[in-house]
Amino acid sequence: MKPEKVLEVCPVCGSSKLYLEAGGYTGKVYHCKNCDYMGALIVEADEEMARAIREDYEKSGQKRRDD
Ligand SMILES: [Zn+2]
Protein backbone atom coordinates (compact mmCIF):
# COMPACT_ATOMS: atom_id res chain seq x y z
CA MET A 1 0.00 0.00 0.00
CA LYS A 2 1.28 3.41 -0.78
CA PRO A 3 0.98 5.94 1.98
CA GLU A 4 -1.11 8.93 1.07
CA LYS A 5 -1.06 11.94 3.20
CA VAL A 6 -4.51 13.42 3.56
CA LEU A 7 -4.80 17.11 4.18
CA GLU A 8 -7.80 19.06 5.28
CA VAL A 9 -8.00 22.01 2.95
CA CYS A 10 -10.24 24.93 2.15
CA PRO A 11 -12.81 24.07 -0.56
CA VAL A 12 -12.42 27.56 -2.04
CA CYS A 13 -8.69 28.13 -2.29
CA GLY A 14 -7.10 24.82 -1.31
CA SER A 15 -5.14 26.27 1.58
CA SER A 16 -4.52 24.13 4.63
CA LYS A 17 -4.51 27.19 6.85
CA LEU A 18 -7.84 26.35 8.37
CA TYR A 19 -8.79 27.21 11.89
CA LEU A 20 -11.72 25.83 13.78
CA GLU A 21 -13.85 28.65 15.08
CA ALA A 22 -15.68 28.26 18.33
CA GLY A 23 -18.76 26.23 17.53
CA GLY A 24 -22.05 28.06 17.68
CA TYR A 25 -25.49 26.59 17.22
CA THR A 26 -24.60 25.67 13.66
CA GLY A 27 -21.85 23.32 14.81
CA LYS A 28 -18.29 23.37 13.58
CA VAL A 29 -17.21 26.33 11.54
CA TYR A 30 -13.86 26.50 9.85
CA HIS A 31 -12.15 29.73 8.98
CA CYS A 32 -9.61 29.93 6.19
CA LYS A 33 -6.88 32.45 6.87
CA ASN A 34 -5.96 32.59 3.21
CA CYS A 35 -9.26 33.59 1.57
CA ASP A 36 -11.51 34.29 4.57
CA TYR A 37 -13.80 31.42 3.74
CA MET A 38 -15.97 30.43 6.68
CA GLY A 39 -18.12 27.34 6.75
CA ALA A 40 -18.62 23.81 7.94
CA LEU A 41 -17.36 22.24 4.73
CA ILE A 42 -13.74 21.33 4.28
CA VAL A 43 -12.12 19.08 1.72
CA GLU A 44 -9.99 16.08 2.51
CA ALA A 45 -7.42 16.05 -0.22
CA ASP A 46 -3.98 14.71 -0.91
CA GLU A 47 -1.20 17.06 -1.92
CA GLU A 48 -2.04 16.76 -5.60
CA MET A 49 -5.72 17.56 -5.12
CA ALA A 50 -4.90 20.47 -2.86
CA ARG A 51 -2.61 21.88 -5.51
CA ALA A 52 -5.31 21.50 -8.17
CA ILE A 53 -7.79 23.45 -6.04
CA ARG A 54 -5.21 26.17 -5.44
CA GLU A 55 -4.43 26.48 -9.14
CA ASP A 56 -8.11 26.66 -9.97
CA TYR A 57 -8.62 29.35 -7.35
CA GLU A 58 -5.71 31.41 -8.64
CA LYS A 59 -7.03 31.19 -12.19
CA SER A 60 -10.55 32.21 -11.24
CA GLY A 61 -9.16 35.01 -9.11
CA GLN A 62 -7.36 36.59 -12.00
CA LYS A 63 -8.79 39.77 -13.35
CA ARG A 64 -10.08 39.41 -16.86
CA ARG A 65 -9.69 42.17 -19.36
CA ASP A 66 -11.54 40.75 -22.33
CA ASP A 67 -14.64 42.92 -22.16
ZN1 LIG B 1 -9.49 29.44 1.56
* d(C-alpha 64, C-alpha 52), whole Å: 20
Question: CB of 13 within 8 A of CB of 57?
Answer: yes
Q: Dump the DSSP string for 3-33.
A: ----EEE-TTT--S-EEEEEEETTEEEEEET
Ligand 1 centre to CA of 9 (Å) is 8
Each residue of 37-62: pLDDT tens digit? 999 899 999 999 999 999 999 999 76
Neighbours of ion ligand 1 (CB under 5 A): 10, 12-13, 15, 32, 34-35, 37
pTM comes to 0.76
Each residue of 5-27: pLDDT tens digit? 899 999 999 999 999 987 667 68
Ligand 1 centre to CA of 18 (Å) is 8
Ligand 1 centre to CA of 11 (Å) is 7
CA distances from 66 to 9, 39, 50, 62 (A): 32, 33, 29, 12
